[in-house]
Structure formats: structure tokens, C-alpha cells
Amino acid sequence: MLPKATNLAAAGTGLADSSRSDTPLVVKELDTATATAEFVSLLTEELPAHYDEVDETFATNLFRVSGMDADPDGYFTLRKKVFVGLLGDRPVGFTVATFKRGGSVKIGPTAVFRQFRRRRLASFLRDEVERRLFAGGTRKLYVTIANSNTPALMFNLGREFRVEGLLRSQYRLGRDELVLGKFAHSVATDVETLLQSSGHPTSASVSRDLERPAERDSDGAGMVTSVWADPDVGEVRRYLEPVLETYIAGLDASFYSHMVAACAPERQHYHRKGKSLIATRSVTGAVQAIAVFVPKRGGAAKLSPLVANSETALRLLIQSCGAHARGADRHKLYAHVPMEMRLTAQVLQEEGFGLEAQLREPYKPGADVLVFGAELD
């Protein structure tokens, strides 16, 4: 039996310890059933202190997916790995790496048993995990931390992570969440220089591409917005891909098939990453706008992707998504918007959304993504 876990670092962090360990720490991927059971118990007991709507399914699913070649329920997420720190044969803690499309990895949650604290073991664990990830080709790491967790913030700032945003009431009403990122190289890519040198479209050309003039319905007469009950993967892909490929690397058929599969009624649970696809159509039935609505633990909901042909269609879609979120008892709605989509950013702000973060190149080199959020009545 492992020692009782009585202290958990905030999601995405390790514990900054003041004294050194006398025993070398060995780091390996989690592969023992006993350790898995103990770590599931750790997260289930401790995470609710930081986040709402966390139960055993969160940890059970995390460890179920860990080590698989691909996350069967992910679309932005490709796979997960759990790294365990060992002193001899005794697990002392672990950290989770979630691999995203485009070469970034989210670190966390990280947990350490109380009797192994203050020996710099969390620092050593993170050192080794970060080294392996960067050596394996990871382009960027990021963490999220409760704004009230100053020790965790200072720990990650000391590791050269930099603040990219503050997400309001993200996982608990009234509790904000910091986003911090760290690149394999010390300086993020200069956006326009990279785009021009690599042959990718620049901001100006992307803005033109997003107009879709042949499909545009500027007056909005007869437009209807509703949940797309049985979305067709091919139709969804044809509509979204010309826009998404400008700011997401590594798109393939699985991105769209996983997205659509998550809309099935039996998938509408947090641990199965249930989603709804909400679409605005013209009077002729042509798709004018699409949002993927993703409920998150803690009471928020994310819109990503969010794509529209026109301002009218976009505004109708955002308003409908707000109503859908209220009906689903969400306290917050937020959207990921690539910086080039200036009209989308403007409409969100006019609809009461505020800028919360500028995520540096999360899914593709040279393509920053803005986060706009609104707390709901």
C-alpha cells in the first residue's frame, strides 16, 4: 500500500521544495495497477479543494487513457502520459502530460505525497519530464494554476514559464485560473515573419479567406440556429477546414470524426468529453456558421472551433450559444479565436465577452489564439 496522499499541487504545478533529496529520483511512465489505484484516490480526494464537478471519473479516465497511442475521445488532445517519480520502488508523486495538436503539451495535475515534500522531488520530477518532452520534439509546454495559489505561480515562473492570461471563474465560480506557457526556445516566433518565410497565409490573406463571399448571406433573412442533431463528418470538415488549417497544425480525419462522435447522446458526460455542434443555416439550408459547444468541469463551456461566413450569422450563433449554455446550467461561456479573425473578436466583445488571454502559438507556430469569456446571468 502506498503512503496516504495528503497534499496535492494545483493543476499544472509541482511543489517547490527547499531542501535537497539524498536519494536519486527515478522517473518512468506509470505502469502498475496499485499505483494507478492510489493516484486515482489522491486526485479524487484532493482536486475538489481547487475545482468543482470533479469526481472519480476524472481520475479514472485520465489513467485509462494514459499510455494509449491516441485518446479515443479527444480532438484537440492527441494522447496522455502519466510520469511517476520513484525513490527505489516507492512512488513519491506523479505528473500528467497531455499532448495537443501542433506540438504543445499541457502539464498537470501534479501530485506529491506529504512525507516526500521539502526534498525538491517535485522539482526533480518536473526537470526530468520537461527534459524528455522537449527532447522528444515538444514545441511548447503550458500549465494552468488557480490564481490564489501563489507558491505554484512562483514555482512555475522560476521555471521560465510566462503568464499568458487570467481565465475568469474558469473551474469554479469566483475562482480565476492563470495560464502560463514555456517554449523549447526562449523567444516565441515572430508571427508574420514565420508565416511569410514558410509560405503560410499572412494575416491579410487569412482575413480575405474568411469572407467566403460565394456563401455570404449578409442580411440574415430566414437564418435559423439550432443544435445539429446528426452532423455529417464530411460536411463539417468541408466547412471548417479552410479556416482551421490556418491556426491548427496536424489536422486530419480523426479531428473531425472525434468531434462529431462526441455529439452522440451516449457521450454527453464529462469523462467522455461530450459536445454539441451548433449551426446557423440560411433559408436554403446552407451552413452559415458553426460552433462546437464543449461543457467543462466546474461549470464553464467552451466554443471551439467558432467559424462564420458573416457578422450576421456569427452574432446569431453567439447569442444562441449563450442561450444553450444557460439552459445547460453553465455559469460562463468562452471562445478560442485566432488573432487573424478580427471580426469574430469584435463581435464577441460587442456581445459582452472580455479578453482573458493571448495564448502564444498553442496549436501552430506563428499563430496566437485569443480567449474571450463572459460570465452568464
237-261: pLDDT as tens digits: 999 999 999 999 999 999 999 999 9
Please state the rounded mean pLDDT for residues 265-273: 78
Q: Give pLDDT, residue 120.
A: 80
Phi, psi of 118 (to 5 degrees): 60, 30
- Asked whether this chain's domains 26-183 and 191-375 adopt the same fold, the reply is yes
CATH code for the structural domain at 191-375:
3.40.630.30
95/337 Cα distance (integer angstroms): 29
CATH top-level class for 26-183?
alpha beta
Burial class (CB in 10 A: 0-12, 13-18, 19+), 135: exposed
Answer yes or no: is pLDDT of 298 > 50: yes
Please state the rounded mean pLDDT for residues 277-291: 95
Extents of the domains making up the chain: 26-183, 191-375
Q: Give pLDDT, residue 22.
A: 52
- Minimum mean pLDDT range among 17-21, 46-50, 76-80, 282-286: 17-21
Specify whether the CB–CB gap between 21 and 127 falls below 8 A. no
